[in-house]
């Protein structure tokens, strides 16, 4: 079982390390041929407007949307959460997403108040106490459709959600050395396979 990390832009290396620590064979994915070889995909943190542009340039937008529609497990962190949202607020006008979760995500929602902060976040399905949530110009979930499970909240907003095989967090577990959220995703990929 091989899990890809979308390597157009963002903190790819940290996710490769976290996935390997969680027991997966992990590899960077830049092109449609590489996407065809993985059973699951992580979309890293970074800058969603840039990721959107590069996805178009690298011909990844449609192949990825198709895999998501076909049920491939995907985990998006921060900018990656924006990329798996069906709708976004405060994005650029021409900004595209891959979709996958019936939710509206507000880009840079926490960032305007506070560039970057950490908070202990209790995540449903992750045993052993809260995870350290690292928020960096992070989005929040403004609203979700009926089929979406909210796994964690911070203040008034969802910051971890799941719909079917697609998981998303506003924060960056790949930066903490705690691999429990990646382990949850590896389990999702195993169960889907
Ligand atoms: N603000 C970034 C965006 O809009 C996300 C930041 C991050 O991934 N740390 O994509």
Regarding pTM above 0.75, the answer is yes
- Per-residue pLDDT, 139: 97
> Into how many domains does the chain fold?
1
Residues comprising the binding site for L-glutamine? 46-48, 107, 136-137
How far, in Å, is the centroid of ligand 1 from the Cα of 52? 12
- Per-residue pLDDT, 164: 98
Reading the block at residue 131, the tokens are: 């995870």
Reading the block at residue 92, the tokens are: 């650029």
Structure confidence by residue, pLDDT tens digits, 58-106: 999 999 999 999 999 999 999 999 999 999 999 999 999 999 999 999 9
Structure confidence by residue, pLDDT tens digits, 112-162: 656 799 999 999 999 999 999 999 999 999 999 999 999 999 999 999 999
Reading the block at residue 23, the tokens are: 């027991």
* Residue nearest ligand 1's atom 2 by CA: 47
- Per-residue pLDDT, 185: 98
- Per-residue pLDDT, 114: 63
Give the domain range for residue 72.
Answer: 2-192
CATH of the domain at 111: 3.40.50.880
- Per-residue pLDDT, 113: 57
- Asked if pLDDT for residue 24 goes beyond 90, the answer is yes
């Amino acid at each position: 079982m091989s899990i890809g990390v979308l390597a157009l832009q963002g903190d790819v290396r940290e996710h490769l390390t976290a996935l390997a620590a969680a027991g997966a064979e992990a590899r960077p994915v830049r092109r449609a041929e590489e996407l065809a070889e993985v059973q699951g995909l992580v979309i890293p943190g970074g800058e969603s407007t840039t990721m959107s542009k590069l996805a178009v340039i690298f011909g990844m937008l449609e192949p990825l949307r198709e895999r998501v529609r076909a049920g491939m497990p995907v985990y998006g962190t921060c900018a990656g959460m924006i990329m798996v949202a069906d709708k976004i607020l405060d994005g650029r006008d021409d900004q595209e997403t891959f979709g996958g979760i019936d939710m509206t995500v507000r880009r840079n929602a926490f960032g305007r108040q506070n560039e970057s902060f950490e908070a202990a976040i209790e995540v449903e399905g992750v045993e052993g106490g809260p995870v350290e949530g690292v928020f960096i110009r992070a989005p929040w979930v403004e609203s979700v459709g009926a089929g979406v499970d909210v796994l964690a909240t911070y203040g008034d907003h969802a910051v971890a959600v799941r719909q079917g095989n697609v998981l998303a967090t506003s924060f960056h577990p790949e930066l903490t050395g705690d691999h429990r959220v990646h382990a949850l995703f590896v389990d999702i990929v195993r169960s889907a396979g």
